Amino acid sequence: MQKRVVLDNGMTLVLENTSSVRSICIGVWVRAGAIYEPADLGGVSHFIEHMLFKGTKKHSARQIAETMDSIGGQINAFSAKEFTCFFAKVRDEHIEKVIALLADMLNHSLFDKEEIEREKNVVIEEIKMYEDAPDELIHDIFSQSLWKSHPIGQPILGTVESVSGLGREKIMNYYSKNYVPSNMLITAVGNFKIPKLSALIEKYFKFKQDDGIGARSVETPKFCIEKQFREKNVEQVHLVLGAPGITEIDKDRYKLYVLNSIFGGSMSSRLFQEIRENRGLAYSIFSYATLYKMTGLFAIYAGCGYKDCDVVTQLILDEIEKIKKNNITKIELTRAKEQLKGNIIMSLESINSRMNRMGRNEIYFNRQIPIDEVLENIDGVSEEDVSYMAKKIFKKGKMAFSIIGPQDGEKKLERSLELVP
């Protein structure tokens, strides 16, 4: 059974009980992410996520960790471009302790000045660690290239410069504006009685009612189609080729999911089979769709040998042209649909995944999308729909290209960059 409740203070709850488990997964979602950050506060949403684990009036950072360990539970958080989520999983008998702890962290964290300075160093090291992982860094480089100065294109972690400039006053100002009941959501799945859990949340999450976050003046991102090379001391060339996509709320998203599965989103996909299995030119090759509320992208990643970059780039372009010509087979279409449906159905066996799905549905659609509706939409995609979506995404002159390559490699990789129309 699932129920949606709005508390008197404006906080929304979406609760789903199931007796098939002996645990509960609960998540507190805040509509605060990189897209809502001013230019001088890059990374502040992620930084606040860190700081909420650094101590409250009742619990030190160590006591937060010890409380969860003492009840055999797990607690963590993640930051995304459009939201931040704090979540915990625990045996059902300990849920009140977890709710009390989460409420304390979100409403009474100290934001100690000395702790802020220490955590700046931690986050800066996290940024440097990310910079040392070119297979991850290339995706941020591509996003920044595609959306330029718009916040949606900026890294979730921020930059060394923006994080270094964060002071307590700036952090608290952002926190006080965003961490308010009307901008928060709680989702929970597990073995509980809905009225009892709802009462516990209302008991501990005594956030004062706010006037609402108000209209957020976020401009619609404008795409910038360019090609760029980033020099780095690497053994492999890492490339991302892609184009503007569609939004998370676009009715055509199911067509895009099927396109991605056929094109490069699975081991049986065209890119994987042609470039890795048939030719052995890359270990990692895949496509992916990233969808946000107001924009999106579709991209292909490959990690390949320096001497093979031209060939791999041309093969990707060849596969793009093929899929635009409506040569999708019924076997491919059926396989893609079954893969998507299987992934969705199997994910529902995890209460963590169910909790996550409920939160995203509420944030993007303000409702819970029934599984049957999702499966029906996937089944409704035709061969012509996939071709239509490929033509919509891969337009001549509308594809961006980013490469991370070895030092002094820009001139040698110019041909790869020039291959993309």
How, if at all, do strands 184-190 and 23-30 pair? antiparallel
Q: Tell me how far apart the alpha carbons of residues 296 and 262 are, in angstroms, rounded to a whole number.
A: 19
Terminal C-alpha separation, the chain: 52
Known catalytic residue at 66: no
Relative to beta strand 227-231, strand 74-79 is unpaired
Q: How far is CA 8 from CA 13, 181, 202, in A?
A: 11, 10, 9
Pick the closest to residue 187 from 35, 349, 353 (CA basis): 353
Per annotation, catalytic residue among 16, 37, 49, 319: 49
CA 379 to chain centre: 25
Of the candidates 237, 194, 114, 185, the one whose C-alpha atom is nearest the C-alpha of residue 365 is 185
Instruction: Say if residue 47 is exposed, middle or buried (CB neighbours under 10 Å; 0-12, 13-18, 19+).
Output: buried
How would you list the strands of the sheet with 296-304, edge to edge? Answer: 227-231, 400-405, 237-244, 296-304, 282-291
Whether the CB-CB separation of 280 and 273 falls below 8 Å is answered with: no
Check if the beta carbon of residue 18 is closer than 8 Å to that of residue 190. Answer: yes
Do residues 303 and 284 lie in contact, with contact meaning Cβ atoms separated by under 8 Å? yes
Q: What are phi and psi of 216, to 5 degrees?
A: -100, 120
Among 394, 360, 386, 393, which Cα is nearest to 87's? 360
Structure-token pair, residue 235 = 């053994």
DSSP letters for 195-250:
HHHHHHHHHH--PPP-S------PPPP-----EEEEE---SSEEEEEEEE---TT-
How many other CB atoms sit within 10 Å of the CB of residue 50?
18
Residue positions annotated with a catalytic role: 49
